[in-house]
Each structure stands twice: as C-alpha cells, then as structure tokens.
C-alpha cells in the first residue's frame, strides 16, 4: 500500500474579510441581558479587508491600508482577540479597507478571517458558539455565505440569493452600535415571514426585499443626520431599484440591475460627494 505524506501546512496565509450587508434587519425582541433578537437577511460582497497571518510564538498585529488610522492596534483589535480565543498565536497584518463602526461588520469580518487563517495554518477551527463570544456578527462572518440570521446572531440558516449589484456609501461618520439600539423605540417588531419565498431572479428578490425593513435605520438617522443625505443621494441615482441602511449604520446601500449601472452611480455619487466612502460591489455566491 502506498503511504501518502500528510498535506504540507502553509506557513503564511492571506484571507479576505468581506463586508457584511444586512439586506434586511428586523429587531424582534430583547433578552434580559440587554441583547436584541434579530431577524436579518445577510449577504457578503467583493469589497473588504485582508488579513495575513503566520504562526508565531506570540500574537502581534500590524495595521495598514486606507482605514488603518480608525482601528485599534492593541489587544482590543478583534483579530488579536480572535487569535487569543482560539489559542493559536499568529503574526497578523490587517489591511484595512472598510470604514470602522459603519454597520458592515468590518471588525467581525476581520475576526472571522483571523479564525479561518488559524485553521488554515493548522490551528483549531472555532465553532459558532465560541465565535459568538467575540461578537454577535462573528458567526455569520465565519462562513461569509448569505444567510438568514436570527437570535442575537447565533441562529443561522444559509440562504442562497440571486446576485446583486450594489453601491455602498458611508458618509465617514462613525456610529456606535449600542447607541443606536438604545434609541430604538419599539423592540418587538414583526419578523420576516417564517418561510421566505423563492425568488426566480434578482428583480423578484428586490421586489420582495422592498417589503422588508431595517428597524435601526430611523434611530441611526436621528444620531447621524448624514444618513438621510446618503439615502437621498442613492435614491436619486439612475435606475436604482432599492435603497436601505446596513446594520446599525451609517453605511447605506442601493441595488441596481447590473454592475455597469452600479459603477456609473458610484462614480457620480463620489464626484458630487468627494468626502464620502463610495464603492460599487457585487454579492459573493
């Protein structure tokens, strides 16, 4: 019998940390510990951060990239917390492209990428329950596949969606998630339907999505009036199908019929608002 060598372990890995978009976000209750119950359709896009990792004696972190200045470089960074939580020390480099505190889960995506990096280097693969301790959004980011997310972020059902062409806009205003939840008047809003419909194509999906909500949009817009300006700017762009805020804000998204239309809208919005962070994006399969 031929004896096969075990697969060689990689010495360095690069892992993409895609932005998370809450296409819908219904807040349906609140637990005794203060955490809110959610019902959210989550998608991931081809815009994100990059985590590079090597096994090391001690965990270290270098942060670079366009949003490096906005994130901590010490043990409070979620990639360091992720390395510590899985007990696998790594030399980490975070190339930060997503605006922080912006409702697209940058820190959670980075933490999930660090967990995937540890597993690829030969460390343990952390389970969802353990990942949840790093943040409510970390479990959904671990798979980075579109999903219906319920509970506080722990109850996940993979939900394939038609491809969507988006523009993401952040007015470069950081919004703290707990402050938005605190300003939400009603905590017991209606969930999405028990059984989600089948969508034959993107247009049918967007029609249905228009009947759903982000319950955090109103309280976030009270905290950051720039959100209203972003939504107006997206709503005025040619051929737009739907506009909404993601997560607790302030990033908003719009959906377009195709990539070229999304790219044209992004270029036009960026030209009129040079300070804003504007990206055309397509959902990942």
Question: Which C-beta is closer to ligand ADP: that of 248 or that of 261?
Answer: 248
Q: Is 49 in the site for ligand SUD (CB under 6 A)?
A: no
Pair 72, 22: CB distance under 8 Å: no
Q: What 8-state DSSP symbol labels residue 3?
A: P
Q: Which is catalytic among the residues 20, 81, 96, 279?
A: 20
**Which residue is at the shortest CB distance from ligand ADP?**
107
User: 135 labelled as ligand-binding?
Assistant: no
Question: Which C-beta is closer to ligand SUD: that of 121 or that of 142?
Answer: 142
Alpha-carbon gap, residue 173 to 251, rounded angstroms: 9
Question: Which C-beta is closer to ligand SUD: that of 13 or that of 47?
Answer: 47
User: 193 labelled as ligand-binding?
Assistant: no
Q: Going along 56-175, which residue ranges are E strands?
A: 60-64, 90-95, 147-151, 155-158, 165-170
Q: What are phi and psi of 167, to 5 degrees?
A: -120, 135
Judged by CB under 6 A, the residue of 44, 67, 88, 181 near ligand SUD is 181
CB of 9 to ligand ADP, least distance (A): 25
What residue 38 binds from ligand ADP, ligand SUD, none (CB within 5 to 8 A, per partner kind)? ligand SUD
Alpha-carbon gap, residue 61 to 125, rounded angstroms: 20
Q: Which of 17, 188, 5 is nearest to 95 (CA)?
A: 17
CB of 23 to ligand SUD, least distance (A): 11
What residue 79 binds from ligand SUD, ligand ADP, none (CB within 5 to 8 A, per partner kind)? ligand ADP
Active site residue 20: yes
Q: Which of 142, 132, 87 is nearest to 112 (CA)?
A: 142
Q: For the chain, report the end-to-end CA distance as a whole number of angstroms.
A: 40
Active site residue 145: no
Q: Tokens 């722990």 label which residue?
A: 154
Q: Is 123 in the site for ligand SUD (CB under 6 A)?
A: no
H or E element: which one contains 206?
A: helix 202-209
Return residues touching ligand ADP (CB under 6 A). 71-72, 76-79, 94, 100-108, 110, 137, 177, 247-248
Question: Which C-beta is closer to ligand SUD: that of 140 or that of 266?
Answer: 140
Pair 252, 234: CB distance under 8 Å: yes
User: 127 labelled as ligand-binding?
Assistant: no
220's tokens: 């976030």
The contact mask relative to ligand SUD for 55-94 (x = CB under 6 A, - = no) is: ----------------------------------------
Torsion angle defined by CA atoms of residues 219, 221, 223 and 226, in that order, rounded to the nearest 10 degrees? 170
- Name the residues annotated as catalytic: 20, 137
């Amino acid at each position: 019998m031929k004896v096969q060598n075990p697969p060689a372990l990689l010495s360095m890995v690069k892992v993409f940390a895609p932005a998370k978009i809450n296409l819908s976000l219904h807040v349906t209750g609140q637990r005794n510990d203060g955490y809110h119950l959610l019902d959210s359709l989550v998608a991931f896009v081809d815009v994100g951060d990059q985590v590079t990792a090597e096994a090391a004696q001690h965990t270290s972190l270098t942060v670079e990239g366009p949003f490096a200045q906005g994130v901590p470089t010490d043990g409070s960074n979620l990639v360091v917390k992720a390395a510590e939580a899985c007990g696998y020390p790594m030399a980490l480099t975070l190339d930060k492209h997503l605006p922080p505190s912006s409702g697209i889960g940058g820190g959670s995506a980075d933490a999930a990428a660090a967990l995937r990096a540890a597993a690829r280097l030969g460390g343990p693969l952390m389970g969802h329950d353990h990942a949840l301790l790093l943040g409510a959004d970390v479990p959904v980011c671990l798979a980075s596949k579109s999903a219906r997310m319920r509970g506080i972020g722990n109850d996940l059902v993979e939900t394939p969606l038609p491809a969507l062409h988006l523009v993401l806009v952040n007015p470069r205003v950081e919004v703290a998630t707990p402050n938005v939840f605190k300003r939400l008047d009603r905590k017991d809003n209606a969930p999405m339907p028990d059984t989600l419909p089948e969508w034959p194509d993107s247009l049918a999906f967007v029609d249905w999505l228009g009947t759903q909500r982000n319950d955090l949009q109103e309280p976030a817009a009270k905290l950051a009036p720039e959100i209203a300006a972003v939504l107006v700017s997206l709503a005025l762009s040619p051929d737009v199908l739907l506009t909404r805020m993601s997560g607790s804000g302030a990033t908003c998204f719009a959906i377009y019929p195709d990539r070229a239309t999304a790219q044209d809208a992004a270029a036009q919005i960026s030209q009129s608002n040079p300070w804003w962070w504007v990206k055309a994006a397509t959902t990942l399969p």
